[in-house]
Amino acid sequence: MHWIDLTIFACYMLAMLGFGLFFLNRNEGAEDYYVGGRNMSSLHIGLSVVATDVGGGFSIGLGGLGFVMGISGSWMLFTGLLGAWLAAVFLIPKVKGNPVFDKAYTFPEVFKHYFTPEVALIAGIISAVGYAGFTSSQILAGAKLAQGTFAQLDLQTALIIMGSIAVIYTVMGGLKAVIYTDTVQWAILMVGLVFIGIPISYTAVGGWEAISQTVDPALLSMSNMTWQKVVYWAVTIIPIWFVGMTLYQRIYACNDEKTAKRAWYLAGVFEWPVMAFMGVALGLFAKVAASQGMFDYLGAENIADTDPETGLPMLLRTVLPVGLMGIMMSAYFSAILSTADSCLMAASGNVVSDIIGYFKDVDHESDTFLRFSQVTTFIIGMGAILIASMMTNVLDLMLYSYAFMVSGLFVPIIGAFYWEKSSSVGALAAMILGGATTVSLEVFLQQLPAGLDANVFGITVSAIAFVSLSLLFPDRQKEQMEESSDTTYQYSKQV
């Protein structure tokens, strides 16, 4: 990179760290650090939601999908649109309409209300592990982008640099800083893609004529996928809108139900079609550029040996002029930060409130709790960097993290809100057996029946366990409430 681009990029990174420092002494407790003071607007929340969900992992991952699948890869984020709107209709009214959750900080607190503290503890562990993995995927995305952009930079060094920036910024700022900067970061990404990345890349590869003549026609079709891939995306991405700790934190950060719903509808539209098509289009342009030999000078003469997720960084490095390169890199790194910081905050909240809080009462408003939360966030962030150093594929790591949480948590949360006979034993069994099934199948079996993903079987096992054991082992408290209700009804009928 030219020194001008490096200067622009360095200034952006310093600005993000400065923003975190700005909020360091303004966070007065858990209300600010974990739920943004509970008074955020629908615009800030909506942009923060989509910045967190799409962010760097999906930005780089979508580029990889566009490289391999073409524009049909955009369907992955259509499931994000469905998930956002379904959550707005079925989830948000249950959370914001119940005053019990007016002072909640985490997603597992829902389980604590409907079931037992032990169920909430297991949910907190699952969520913390899942979001630690998801944080790692974002750090890996940033490292891959840096590796593909900066000459002589190896992946491990890039991991340390990008990971450290993301962790330090998040530790200092908390959720309020995360939400405000997400708005800025998303705006930077959108402006960078619309006015810089897409038009310059499209022109550089020769426009539509060159694209249509270079790539397989299947890459220009919206149907270049299997039904198994559709099921995989649907069962992995849609449910996360019901069990994502980052999303519950933002629901709690809204001051009322109407604000939260508007934010979720806005986020869905930005996911698909806006971000979906821009992401895969750039990946497709990278495939064309690779076929034309534009990356030969980078040692990527053989397309078959090129990592699809590095195609987009190499494209931007090749076609963008001095100055615009720094702006575009800042745009992509902003997307990565916007997801990494949110996921790190989620994992920290789970550990402090749901896991440690199970064994010891904590005062959420004390200065000691705030400092302890910051230390915990730092430790988890360092662990996420270590996990990232052991993985190679951003999208796989991200979707594995999704699958781990979804297979264990989705069925119990639906049951908690919508099935009166759901029980604590059923919830515990569903979490453990569902998650264990998915992880076991992904680790030990390469090929599953009908070519389906392990998450399909994990959710199925979770549902069977939840329903059967809830019926066999009902919660005594619920039984007593039902008996009391029946007695009152019979008495009033006699009278």
What's residue 87's pLDDT? 97
73 and 197 both lie in a single domain: yes
379 and 439 both lie in a single domain: no
Helix (H) or strand (E) holding 188: helix 155-192
DSSP 8-state assignment for residue 388:
H
254 and 179 both lie in a single domain: yes
d(CA 326, CA 232): 36
* 387, 411, 434 - which closes a domain: 387
- Tell whether the model's pLDDT for residue 395 goes beyond 60: no
145 and 222 both lie in a single domain: yes
192 and 268 both lie in a single domain: yes
Indicate whether 395 belongs to any domain: no
Percent of the chain with pLDDT strictly greater than 70: 90
* 365, 387, 409 - which closes a domain: 387
355 and 433 both lie in a single domain: no
What pLDDT, in 10s, does the model give residues 137-159? 778 777 777 776 666 677 778 78
- Dihedral angle sign, alpha carbons of residues 394, 398, 401, 403: negative
Residues 6+ apart with CB under 8 A from 32: 23, 26, 174, 175, 176
Closest C-alpha to 179, from 83, 91, 263: 263
122 and 189 both lie in a single domain: yes
CATH number at residue 93: 1.20.1730.10
Identify the domain containing residue 477 by its residue range. Answer: 419-495
Indicate whether 414 belongs to any domain: no
101 and 205 both lie in a single domain: yes
Please state which of the ranges 160-174, 279-293, 324-338, 356-370 shows the lowest mean pLDDT: 324-338
What pLDDT, in 10s, does the model give residues 338-391? 778 888 989 999 999 999 999 988 777 777 888 888 899 999 999 888 888 876
Indicate whether 174 belongs to any domain: yes
238 and 125 both lie in a single domain: yes
53 and 106 both lie in a single domain: yes
Indicate whether 400 belongs to any domain: no
- How far, CA to CA in Å, does 36 sit from each of 45, 246, 291, 298, 377? 10, 12, 47, 44, 16
pTM: 0.86
59 and 112 both lie in a single domain: yes
Please state which of the ranges 207-221, 396-410, 479-493 shows the lowest mean pLDDT: 479-493
Percent of the chain with pLDDT strictly greater than 90: 40
Query: How confident is the model over 453-466, as a mean pLDDT?
Result: 94
Indicate whether 299 belongs to any domain: yes
Number of domains comprising the chain: 2
327 and 212 both lie in a single domain: yes
Indicate whether 328 belongs to any domain: yes
* 387, 405, 437 - which closes a domain: 387
Query: How confident is the model over 151-171, as a mean pLDDT?
Result: 79
Indicate whether 245 belongs to any domain: yes
Indicate whether 201 belongs to any domain: yes
Helix (H, G, I), strand (E, B) or coil at 267: helix
What pLDDT, in 10s, does the model give residues 86-117? 999 999 999 999 999 999 999 999 999 999 99
Count of alpha carbons within 13 angstroms of residue 380, beta-carbon side:
31
Cα dihedral 386/332/171/360 (nearest 10): -70
